[in-house]
């Protein structure tokens, strides 16, 4: 891509709460056109699911403010509350002094005002049904749930580059292996390269993977794989269902178009 800034091509957010109200968490991610991604997340000790949904969206908008964006970028969310609030209800709330149609005070006004101020021209919200197999929504949900349970999930960072396993990954792994300890790549990068090299070996060997094994390789919840009956692309590979709860990785030349 030369010197052209790497644009954000996908964005998603989600929220979770245990008890509603109760301990909560939010998760978000940005995908870049070079294949790298940035994941965000956080927790609140006493909150609601709606507040976590709004907090995740706010984090995405604030992160996008200073980043180049693809013109077709949309923010993916499974929250109708978030979408309707921004697209349908916001104007009326402000006209009525932050009162609802029934005259009551608008809940979560503090977050709605921050979201209104953080809006980005041309960035639309798109609804996706939760737990429907969308990988970005499922990943955000996994991050949010982990934080709501007091866990600290490992989050991907933008500095992890997308490289082809045949050339880039192998070369970088060899470079890391031969470097002095003080010059080694970050652990997160080493982990990514190991996953890509493993994926390539699995594809070359024609090995089948069980749901738990595939989910760990792809870093997605196992539930994401349930009900997937058709092949789908992942990085430079095609994930092909074999039946009986097993899958196989094939090199991307298998004929499926990669998402733009």
Residues with a catalytic annotation lie at 14-15, 53, 78, 131, 141
| CA angle 70–40–153, rounded 5-degree value | 140
Other beta carbons within 10 angstroms of residue 224's beta carbon come to 22
Identify the burial level of 27 via C-beta atoms within 10 angstroms of its C-beta, where 0-12 means exposed, 13-18 middle and 19 or more buried: buried
Residue 231 in 3-state DSSP? coil
Helices (H) and strands (E) in the chain, counts: 8, 9
End-to-end CA distance of the chain: 15
Contacts of 116 (CB under 8 A, 6+ apart): 86, 90, 94
Q: Which ranges of the chain does DSSP label H, i.e. alpha helix?
A: 49-64, 80-84, 90-95, 109-118, 135-148, 170-178, 187-205, 211-218
Contacts of residue 117, defined as CB under 8 A and 6 or more positions apart, other chains included, come to none
Q: Is 51 helix (H, G, I), strand (E, B) or coil?
A: helix
Tokens 């005259």 -> residue: 103
Q: Report d(CA 206, CA 199) in Å as an integer.
A: 11
């Amino acid at each position: 891509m030369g010197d052209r800034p790497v644009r954000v091509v996908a964005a998603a957010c989600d929220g979770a709460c245990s008890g509603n109200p109760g301990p909560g968490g939010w998760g978000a991610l940005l995908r870049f056109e070079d294949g790298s991604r940035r994941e965000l997340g956080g927790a609140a000790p006493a909150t609601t699911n709606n507040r976590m949904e709004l907090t995740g969206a706010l984090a995405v908008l604030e992160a996008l403010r200073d980043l180049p964006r693809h013109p077709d970028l949309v923010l993916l969310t499974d929250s109708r509350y978030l979408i309707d609030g921004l697209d349908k209800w916001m104007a009326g709330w402000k006209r009525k002094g932050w009162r609802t149609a029934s005259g009551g005070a608008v809940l979560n006004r503090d977050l709605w005002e921050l979201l209104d101020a953080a809006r980005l021209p041309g960035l639309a919200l798109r609804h996706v049904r939760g737990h429907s197999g969308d990988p970005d929504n499922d990943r955000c949900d996994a991050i949010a749930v982990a934080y709501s349970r007091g866990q600290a999930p490992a989050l991907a960072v933008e500095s992890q580059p997308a490289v082809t396993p045949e050339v880039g990954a192998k070369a970088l792994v060899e470079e890391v292996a031969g470097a002095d300890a003080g010059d080694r790549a970050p652990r997160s990068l080493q982990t990514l390269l190991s996953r890509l090299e493993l994926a390539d070996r699995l594809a070359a060997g024609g090995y089948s993977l069980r749901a738990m094994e595939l989910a760990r390789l792809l870093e997605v919840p196992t539930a994401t794989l349930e009900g997937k009956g058709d092949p789908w692309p992942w990085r430079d590979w095609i994930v092909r269902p074999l039946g009986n709860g097993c899958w196989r990785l094939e090199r991307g030349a298998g004929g499926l178009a990669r998402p733009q």
